[in-house]
């Protein structure tokens, strides 16, 4: 009979220093979990009748996307984002390739090719592209940190964003294309590009918008598809064609308005009976407004405010410019998407197909946003670590 | 632990440049501004103007659909149902649930059309029409589709998206063409009707009476529709509702004065008489009968031929079908109730009225012998008896028995110099005025006199001036009233226009005055007897008061009644042979034949009679267009009706009298 194995001595595990066990940014995490909970609760009521006999179809999937995204966020927070700087060319190439792949073999979904259909998941490259572009552009800007005031830098950075943006707009996904441009612009702004350049860029946007919407159609060139133009201009005169472009926005306004102070709860006919199209994706805020009223909408907006405030906090505390720029890009992405999406549902912005981060149903959008938050967490963790450990790089 | 805690840096290590701080502050300010804009807008939408959006949201998903109330039955005087409502399954289309416009929808219409035996275009037209009249409500495509079709639809629902079956209540006219013009028919309330006071409170899409009693008593029969508040989703599909419906109130039932047995027998008698006339070479293509209680005006049977089946109106009729029913001639088609709306001269059935007028005004001495010879001449005109018969100079009683035209021509000539004595009596007895019957329409009629003639002349002249035509056809020629006009009127010809109903009222007045030693009432003929609720309780008894009371000189009246009694019961009487074998002692018949000349058509056969009985007297009017002599066609029909009423063996005896 063999002797019983020697018992390993019960060594008390050496507790790593508290600062090394650095958790995630608590408020940032709170904002993310809060929004995830809001998304599940809202979608639960809004999608119950969407697929007859499967009341939990959308909620279950959204829950899976959120869990996958949060796991990805935690993993990403444990990786030093600074390493991504070396991979900038690869990341940019991946961005272009994935977008082109969608254009090439993407399937047509509602008149657009925005996704690659995987067996379990329909992958929207333009969503992931928001994070990829943020990292790549941040790296480009850091590389030219000493020549930030050169016009050359501004032009190159904007072109680097414009190329994928044009491909994405061609899919056509106007909303994501606009996010790319706003992200790049904001990074230049935060990095310290001359006011002069920024002003010229804004002027250029104004001129090209005039050209695309007014001048070009007048001579018969349609840069945007007719439905895009119609959506973009519908919010300016909502009653002119309430049956088509204006319809969505009109129904969305009715939904939100009818929520009044405290919401209609189970009586939310606009979203329960599908009067608001896409009330689980782009128009999810209409479902929030109708079901939970001004109070519910204000809570969701407060969570976004917290998320953006913490993003700006991470921007400021970052150990290096690269991290700050990534945070700036993500802040721009969140601000733009929240404002454009909510503005669209309450009738003060055009319909552009921008999702509401974390709230809208959809794996690509949810996971992309959580990856972005993961980057923020990584920046936060690295900043804390470098401060407490005097530059030692943490490994986990 | 505490040392580590203290070791934590409180602020990031990277020194923040003033430029970065400023730009981040700008970014933060922009974010704050954007949130402020959104919150302000939300406050405006949800708190300041929220109520308005609640209304809009409710209007979006709540639809009030009427639940049709079961329509009340129409019963005969003994309570036997004549018209009832029956529940059947209707094939309906929910427009919003149909497949998309274009090919898929057309294919569905074709499939459904093959199944139901309808054309795809017809279904489309029905759906489009239904949507314009009542949005959101299902459109009925076919009622009574039959069990096989309904089984197919139920089993293969996926092949027929948007097609459902729904129990609906439809009107059932048990006896088809019997009394169709009297009972009327029903249909969906029209846009024009909705504006009428009679249909106040009726919702669009409700089935209401469109003709006859169904129309006249609609407010009792239709009941009160219930309301079902359904919830629909954005696609227009109804979803399970949590709102309780308002229960519809069933309509009241209407008991009418018609006697089902007599009505059936009368219809049969009319058909038999017309068939006999056709067998003797007369066109006899239309006719009417009416039997009435002379004391009260209760109509015991009333019919008109050609007739129609009101059940056909349960399904939408095509324009062509409806026009055929309406008829294009002046006489009208099957929809025309000839007993009430027929516009006829009466021939000799008018003679008792002439006699009463002339007697009571002292124009005529009943004992004096008049009308000798086969013709009498006035200025250049000849007025002759039918077949140039010569009855010699006869007294009034005999003149009525043999129906001497020359006698009454002379009466007309005599009366003309005394003014409108015939006209006044005719109008007093009920000719030339609406009788007030409880049906949607009846004619007024014309009792011509010199005033009427002058007015017609003026209208004709005005029309000729206005239209620059040689003649408007209102009068044949512009000429003043002449003695000839009065002579024609005296025998029920000329410009006289009346209906079997008005004649029945006039004979009823004579009959009830005769029963009451000269104190008569001009009854208001009516069909409604009482309105009962659905449980059978009396809601309202219907007995319209008589139009007026008249006092007739009893001895004059007795002479006239004797004359027309002899006509039906004495050798040489115009309808004597028709009533052969009738027990005149038990049920004395006071009857007058008439043969109205209506060139270029064949003569119209008339018979008017009153059959006495202490408990159930009856006045019968029968007319057959282009039916020939009165004794030949109309009188035998009247006898059949009387036989049924008094429970005598029915005997069709054709009279041989050839008098006008």
How far is it, in rounded angstroms, from Cα B181 to Cα B499?
A: 15
User: pLDDT category, A336, cuts 50, 70, 90?
Assistant: very high
CB-CB: which of A273, A277, A316 is closest to B24? A316
Which residues of chain A lie closer than 8 angstroms to B37, CB-CB? 339, 343, 348
Of the two residues B534 and B301, the one the predictor is more confident about is: B301
Instruction: Please say if the pLDDT value at position A100 is more than 60.
Output: yes
Tell me the two tokens of residue A257. 């308005």
Cβ of A241 under 8 Å from any chain B Cβ?
Answer: no
User: pLDDT category, B478, cuts 50, 70, 90?
Assistant: confident
Of the two residues B297 and B203, the one the predictor is more confident about is: B297
Instruction: Please say if the pLDDT value at position A31 is more than 80.
Output: yes
Cβ of A7 under 8 Å from any chain B Cβ?
Answer: no
How far off is chain B from A321, nearest CA to CA, in Å?
9
Instruction: Please say if the pLDDT value at position A256 is more than 70.
Output: yes
How far off is chain B from A290, nearest CA to CA, in Å?
9
pLDDT tens digit sequence for B546-583: 999 999 999 999 999 999 999 999 988 999 999 998 99
How far off is chain A from B261, nearest CA to CA, in Å?
59
Residues 8-67 of A with CB under 8 A from B: 17-19, 49
How far is it, in rounded angstroms, from Cα B187 to Cα B184?
A: 10
Which residues of chain A lie closer than 8 angstroms to B57, CB-CB? 254-255, 258, 264, 269-270, 275, 290
CB-CB: which of B4, B39, B41 is closest to A19? B4
Task: Tell me whether strands B286-292 and B538-541 are parallel, antiparallel or unpaired.
Answer: unpaired
- The CA–CA distances, whole Å, from B599 to B306, B460, B489 equal 21, 22, 16
Of the two residues B355 and A47, the one the predictor is more confident about is: B355
Determine, for residues B42 and A308 on separate chains, whether the beta-carbon distance falls below 8 Å. no
Looking at residue B132, what is its pLDDT? 73
User: pLDDT category, B640, cuts 50, 70, 90?
Assistant: very high
CB-CB: which of A269, A331, A335 is closest to B57? A269
Looking at residue B37, what is its pLDDT? 95
How far the first Cα of chain A sits from its last, in Å, is 42
How far is it, in rounded angstroms, from Cα B159 to Cα A271?
A: 29
Cβ of A342 under 8 Å from any chain B Cβ?
Answer: yes
Only one residue has tokens 């090919």, namely: B103
Looking at residue B135, what is its pLDDT? 63
- Which of B2, B9, B31 is the best substitution to test chain A (most A C-beta atoms within 10 A)? B31
CB-CB: which of A258, A274, A383 is closest to B57? A258
Cβ of A306 under 8 Å from any chain B Cβ?
Answer: no
Looking at residue A137, what is its pLDDT? 95
For residues B407-434, average pLDDT: 92
How far off is chain A from B243, nearest CA to CA, in Å?
12
User: pLDDT category, B5, cuts 50, 70, 90?
Assistant: very low
- Which of B27, B58, B237 is the best substitution to test chain A (most A C-beta atoms within 10 A)? B27
Determine, for residues A316 and B21 on separate chains, whether the beta-carbon distance falls below 8 Å. yes
Whole-number percent of chain B with pLDDT over 70: 94
User: pLDDT category, A395, cuts 50, 70, 90?
Assistant: very low
Which residues of chain B lie closer than 8 angstroms to A292, CB-CB? none
Instruction: Please say if the pLDDT value at position A385 is more than 50.
Output: yes
Instruction: Please say if the pLDDT value at position B160 is more than 70.
Output: yes
Scanning every residue of chain B, which has its alpha carbon at the shortest distance from the alpha carbon of A307? B31
Instruction: Please say if the pLDDT value at position A8 is more than 70.
Output: no
Which residues of chain A lie closer than 8 angstroms to B36, CB-CB? none
Determine, for residues A189 and B27 on separate chains, whether the beta-carbon distance falls below 8 Å. yes
Structural contact between residues A291 and A157, judged by C-beta atoms closer than 8 angstroms: no
User: pLDDT category, A71, cuts 50, 70, 90?
Assistant: very high
Q: Which of A57-61, A269-273, B71-75 has the lowest average pLDDT?
A: A269-273
Which residues of chain B lie closer than 8 angstroms to A275, CB-CB? 57, 60-61, 233-234
Which residues of chain A lie closer than 8 angstroms to B56, CB-CB? 254, 257-258
Size of interface A-B (CB pairs under 8 A): 163
How far off is chain A from B93, nearest CA to CA, in Å?
21
**Cβ neighbours around B599 below 10 Å, total:** 6
Nearest to A282 by CA among A112, A29, A31, A52: A112
Structural contact between residues B390 and B373, judged by C-beta atoms closer than 8 angstroms: yes
Instruction: Please say if the pLDDT value at position B138 is more than 80.
Output: no
Looking at residue B1, what is its pLDDT? 40
Nearest to B181 by CA among B343, B344, B334, B74: B334
- The CA–CA distances, whole Å, from B225 to B245, B251, B300, B659 equal 11, 9, 33, 57
pTM of the model: 0.67
Which residues of chain A lie closer than 8 angstroms to B35, CB-CB? 301, 304-305
Structural contact between residues B294 and B617, judged by C-beta atoms closer than 8 angstroms: yes
How far off is chain A from B139, nearest CA to CA, in Å?
23
What angle separates helix B421-429 from helix B483-490, to the nearest 10 degrees?
40
pLDDT tens digit sequence for A186-240: 999 999 899 999 999 999 999 988 887 777 777 777 777 777 777 666 666 655 5
The widest CA-to-CA distance across chain B, in whole angstroms, is 153
How far is it, in rounded angstroms, from Cα B97 to Cα B99?
A: 7
Of the two residues B134 and B593, the one the predictor is more confident about is: B593
Structural contact between residues B528 and B438, judged by C-beta atoms closer than 8 angstroms: yes
A293-326 per-residue burial string, b: 16 or more CB within 10 A, e: under 16? bbebbbebbebbbbbbbbbbbbbbbbbbbbbbbb
User: pLDDT category, A35, cuts 50, 70, 90?
Assistant: very high
How far off is chain A from B337, nearest CA to CA, in Å?
51
Which residues of chain B lie closer than 8 angstroms to A277, CB-CB? 234
User: pLDDT category, A306, cuts 50, 70, 90?
Assistant: very high
How far off is chain A from B153, nearest CA to CA, in Å?
22
Looking at residue B15, what is its pLDDT? 58
Which residues of chain B lie closer than 8 angstroms to A297, CB-CB? 42, 46
Determine, for residues A335 and B31 on separate chains, whether the beta-carbon distance falls below 8 Å. yes
Which residues of chain A lie closer than 8 angstroms to B58, CB-CB? 269
CB-CB: which of A259, A319, A346 is closest to B13? A319
3-state secondary structure of A51: coil
Cβ of A235 under 8 Å from any chain B Cβ?
Answer: no
For residues A62-68, average pLDDT: 95
Tell me the two tokens of residue B390. 């010569």
Tell me the two tokens of residue A85. 């700087």
How far is it, in rounded angstroms, from Cα B314 to Cα B330?
A: 27
How far is it, in rounded angstroms, from Cα A261 to Cα A289?
A: 9
Q: Interior CA angle at A186 toward A180 and A188, to 5°?
A: 105
Determine, for residues B239 and A273 on separate chains, whether the beta-carbon distance falls below 8 Å. yes
User: pLDDT category, A120, cuts 50, 70, 90?
Assistant: low
How far is it, in rounded angstroms, from Cα B496 to Cα A40?
A: 88
DSSP track, A139-190: HHHHHTGGGTTSHHHHHHHHHHHHHHHHHHHHTT-HHHHHHHHHHHHHHHHH
Region of B258 please: left (phi>0), alpha (psi -120 to 50) or beta: beta
pLDDT tens digit sequence for B337-349: 999 999 999 999 9
Instruction: Please say if the pLDDT value at position A241 is more than 70.
Output: no
Of the two residues B202 and B589, the one the predictor is more confident about is: B589
How far is it, in rounded angstroms, from Cα B204 to Cα B216?
A: 19
User: pLDDT category, B103, cuts 50, 70, 90?
Assistant: confident
Of the two residues A118 and A376, the one the predictor is more confident about is: A376
Looking at residue B213, what is its pLDDT? 94
Which residues of chain B lie closer than 8 angstroms to A388, CB-CB? 7-9
Q: Side-chain half-sphere of B586: how many Cα atoms within 13 Å?
A: 9
Which residues of chain A lie closer than 8 angstroms to B16, CB-CB? 316
CB-CB: which of A273, A304, A346 is closest to B233? A273
Which residues of chain A lie closer than 8 angstroms to B49, CB-CB? 257
Structural contact between residues B187 and B218, judged by C-beta atoms closer than 8 angstroms: no
Scanning every residue of chain B, which has its alpha carbon at the shortest distance from the alpha carbon of A251? B57
For residues B459-473, average pLDDT: 84
Looking at residue A128, what is its pLDDT? 93
Average pLDDT, chain B: 86
Which residues of chain B lie closer than 8 angstroms to A289, CB-CB? 42, 45-46
Which residues of chain A lie closer than 8 angstroms to B63, CB-CB? none
Only one residue has tokens 């922009």, namely: B30
Scanning every residue of chain B, which has its alpha carbon at the shortest distance from the alpha carbon of A311? B28
Whole-number percent of chain A with pLDDT over 70: 83
Looking at residue A14, what is its pLDDT? 53
Looking at residue A393, what is its pLDDT? 47
How far is it, in rounded angstroms, from Cα B448 to Cα A388?
A: 124
Determine, for residues B27 and A275 on separate chains, whether the beta-carbon distance falls below 8 Å. no
């Amino acid at each position: 009979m063999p002797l019983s194995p020697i018992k390993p001595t019960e060594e008390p595990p050496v507790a790593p220093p508290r600062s090394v066990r650095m958790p995630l940014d608590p408020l940032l995490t709170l904002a993310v979990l809060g929004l995830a909970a809001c998304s599940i609760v809202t979608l639960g009521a809004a999608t119950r009748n969407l697929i007859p006999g499967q009341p939990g179809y959308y909620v279950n999937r959204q829950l899976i996307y959120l869990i996958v995204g949060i796991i990805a966020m935690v993993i990403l927070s444990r990786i030093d984002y600074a390493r991504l700087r070396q991979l900038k060319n690869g990341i940019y190439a991946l961005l272009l390739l994935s977008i082109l792949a969608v254009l090439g073999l993407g399937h047509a979904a509602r008149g657009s090719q925005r996704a690659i259909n995987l067996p379990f998941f329909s992958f929207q490259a333009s969503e992931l592209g928001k994070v990829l572009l943020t990292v790549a552009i941040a790296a480009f800007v850091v590389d030219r940190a000493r020549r930030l005031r050169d016009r050359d830098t501004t032009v190159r950075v904007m072109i680097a964003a414009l190329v994928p943006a044009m491909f994405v707009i061609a899919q056509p996904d106007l909303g994501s294309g606009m996010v790319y441009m706003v992200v790049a612009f904001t990074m230049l702004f935060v990095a310290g590009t001359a006011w002069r350049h920024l002003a010229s860029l804004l002027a250029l946007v104004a001129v090209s918008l005039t050209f695309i919407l007014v001048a070009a159609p007048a001579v018969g060139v349609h840069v945007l598809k007719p439905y895009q133009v119609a959506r973009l201009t519908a919010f300016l005169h909502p009653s002119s064609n309430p049956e088509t472009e204006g319809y969505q926005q009109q129904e969305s306004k009715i939904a939100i308005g009818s929520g009044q102070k405290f919401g209609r709860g189970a009586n939310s006919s606009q979203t329960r009976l599908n009067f608001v199209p896409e009330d689980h994706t782009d128009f999810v805020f209409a479902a929030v407004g109708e079901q939970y009223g001004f109070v519910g909408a204000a809570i969701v907006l407060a969570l976004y405010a917290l998320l953006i405030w913490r993003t700006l906090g991470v921007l400021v505390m970052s150990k290096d410019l690269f991290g700050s720029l990534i945070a700036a890009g993500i802040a721009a992405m969140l601000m733009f998407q929240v404002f454009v999406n909510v503005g669209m549902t309450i009738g003060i912005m055009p319909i552009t197909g921008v999702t509401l981060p974390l709230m809208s149903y959809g794996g690509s959008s949810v996971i992309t946003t959580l990856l972005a938050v993961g980057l923020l967490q990584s920046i936060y963790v690295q900043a804390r670590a470098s401060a407490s450990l005097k530059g030692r790089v943490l490994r986990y | 632990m505490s040392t580590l805690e203290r070791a934590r840096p409180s602020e990031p290590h990277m020194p923040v440049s003033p430029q970065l701080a400023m730009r981040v502050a700008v970014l933060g300010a922009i974010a704050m501004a954007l949130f402020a804009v959104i919150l302000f807008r939300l406050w405006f939408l949800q708190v300041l103007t929220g109520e308005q959006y609640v209304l809009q949201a409710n209007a979006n998903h709540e639809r009030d659909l009427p639940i049709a109330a079961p329509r009340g039955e129409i019963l005969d005087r003994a309570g036997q149902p004549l018209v009832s409502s029956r529940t059947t399954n209707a094939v309906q289309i929910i427009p919003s649930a149909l497949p998309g416009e274009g090919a898929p929808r057309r294919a569905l219409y074709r499939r459904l059309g093959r199944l139901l035996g309808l054309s795809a275009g017809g279904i489309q037209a029905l759906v489009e029409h239904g949507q314009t009249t009542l949005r959101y409500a299902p459109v009925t495509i076919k009622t009574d589709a039959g069990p096989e079709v309904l089984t197919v639809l139920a089993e293969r629902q996926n092949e027929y998206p948007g097609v459902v079956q729904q129990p609906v209540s439809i009107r059932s006219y048990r006896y088809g063409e019997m009394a169709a013009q009297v009972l009327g028919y029903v249909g969906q309330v029209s846009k024009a009707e909705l504006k009428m006071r009679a249909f106040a409170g009726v919702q669009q899409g409700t089935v209401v009476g469109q003709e006859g009693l169904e129309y006249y008593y609609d407010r009792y029969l239709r009941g009160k529709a219930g309301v079902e508040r359904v919830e629909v989703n954005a696609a227009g599909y109804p979803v399970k509702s949590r709102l309780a419906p308002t229960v519809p109130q069933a309509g009241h039932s209407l008991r009418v004065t018609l006697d089902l047995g007599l009505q059936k027998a009368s219809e049969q008698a009319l058909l038999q008489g017309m068939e006999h006339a056709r067998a003797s070479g007369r066109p006899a293509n239309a006719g009417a009968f009416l039997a009435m209680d002379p004391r009260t005006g209760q109509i015991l049977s009333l019919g008109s031929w050609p007739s129609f089946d009101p059940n056909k109106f349960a399904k939408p009729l095509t324009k062509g079908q409806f026009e055929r029913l309406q008829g294009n001639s002046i006489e009208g088609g099957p929809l025309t109730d000839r007993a009430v709306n027929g516009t006829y001269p009466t021939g000799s059935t008018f003679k008792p009225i002439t006699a009463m007028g002339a007697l009571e005004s002292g124009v005529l001495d009943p004992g004096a012998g008049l009308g000798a010879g086969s013709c009498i001449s006035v200025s250049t005109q000849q007025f002759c008896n039918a077949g140039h018969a010569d009855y010699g100079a006869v007294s009034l009683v005999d003149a009525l028995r043999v129906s001497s035209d020359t006698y009454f021509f002379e009466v007309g000539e005599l009366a003309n110099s005394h003014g409108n004595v015939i006209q006044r009596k005719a109008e007093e007895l009920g000719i030339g005025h609406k009788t007030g019957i409880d049906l949607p329409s009846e004619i007024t009629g014309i009792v011509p006199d010199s005033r009427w003639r002058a007015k017609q002349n003026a209208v004709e002249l005005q029309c000729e001036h206005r239209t620059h035509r040689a003649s408007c056809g209102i009068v044949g020629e512009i000429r003043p009233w002449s003695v000839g006009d009065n002579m024609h009127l005296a025998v029920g010809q000329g410009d006289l226009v009346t209906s079997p109903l008005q004649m029945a009222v006039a004979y009823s007045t004579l009959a009830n005055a005769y029963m009451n030693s000269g104190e008569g009432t001009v009854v208001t003929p009516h069909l409604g007897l009482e309105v009962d609720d659905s449980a059978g309780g009396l809601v309202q008894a219907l007995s319209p008061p008589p139009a007026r009371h008249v006092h007739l000189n009893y001895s004059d009246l007795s002479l006239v009644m004797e004359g027309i009694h002899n006509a039906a019961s004495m050798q040489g009487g115009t309808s004597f042979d028709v009533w052969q074998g009738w027990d005149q002692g038990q049920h004395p018949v006071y009857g007058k034949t008439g043969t109205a000349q209506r060139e270029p058509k064949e003569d119209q056969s008339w018979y008017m009679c009153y059959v006495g009985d202490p408990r159930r007297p009856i006045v019968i009017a029968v007319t057959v267009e282009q039916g020939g002599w009165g004794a030949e066609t109309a009188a035998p029909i009247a006898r059949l009706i009387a036989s049924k009423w008094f429970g005598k063996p029915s005997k069709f005896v054709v009279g041989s009298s050839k008098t006008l």
